[in-house]
């Protein structure tokens, strides 16, 4: 239980507790958050970087594993992120905390998909191939289509 509490604290401190902490951020700004966190907490973690991605892997015996994978578009802005945890109870608690956000007011539109009701127009998808993972991404739908999907979700 201590590891779960510590992990949730870690997530809050890294600004990922809202599930969209990096969407529209630049790679350098995201990397700066990771490095600052690693230096402050002194946890064992690595950062891997390519032209279009950034990967943060927390691997410390004191806490649960956490993977954050960020993908950047041609403009250098994060367009989607995948977060993976190492245990089911951690994943469920973390995801429930995110979906309960008053700011984003997530609405479930199908079994594995949630739309943010905020102006951010974000889509959160669970049920990925990797266990205990979810993806958050910018919507590519038109504003009207996005709003219609949220409206139709309430009818079901």
Domain that holds residue 34: 2-153
Above pLDDT 90, what percent of the chain? 69
Above pLDDT 70, what percent of the chain? 85
**Contact status, residue 16 vs residue 83, Cβ threshold 8 Å:** yes
Indicate the number of domains in the chain.
1
Among candidates 131, 130, 136, 127, which has minimal Cα distance to 88?
Answer: 131
**Contact status, residue 107 vs residue 114, Cβ threshold 8 Å:** yes
Has residue 147 got a pLDDT over 70?
Answer: yes
Distance of alpha carbon 88 from alpha carbon 91, whole angstroms:
5
Has residue 153 got a pLDDT over 70?
Answer: yes
Supply the pLDDT for residue 39. Answer: 84
Supply the pLDDT for residue 9. Answer: 44
pLDDT band, residue 16 (cuts 50/70/90): very low
18-41 pLDDT, tens digit per residue, is: 445 799 999 999 999 999 988 888
35-58 pLDDT, tens digit per residue, is: 998 888 888 899 999 999 999 999
118-136 pLDDT, tens digit per residue, is: 788 999 999 999 999 999 9
- pTM here is 0.84
């Amino acid at each position: 239980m201590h590891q779960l509490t510590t992990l949730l604290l870690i997530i809050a401190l890294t600004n990922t507790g809202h599930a969209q902490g990096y969407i529209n951020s630049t790679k350098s700004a995201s990397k700066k958050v990771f490095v600052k966190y690693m230096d402050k907490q002194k946890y064992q973690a690595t950062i891997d970087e390519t032209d279009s991605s950034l990967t943060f892997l927390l691997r410390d015996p004191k806490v649960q594993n956490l993977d954050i994978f960020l993908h950047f578009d041609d403009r250098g802005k994060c367009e989607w992120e995948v977060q993976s945890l190492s245990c089911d109870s951690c994943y469920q608690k973390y995801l429930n905390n995110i979906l309960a956000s008053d700011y984003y007011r997530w609405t479930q539109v199908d079994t594995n998909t949630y739309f943010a009701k905020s102006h951010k127009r974000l889509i959160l998808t669970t049920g990925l191939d990797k266990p205990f993972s979810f993806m958050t991404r910018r919507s590519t739908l038109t504003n009207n289509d996005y709003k219609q999907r949220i409206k139709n979700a309430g009818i079901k």
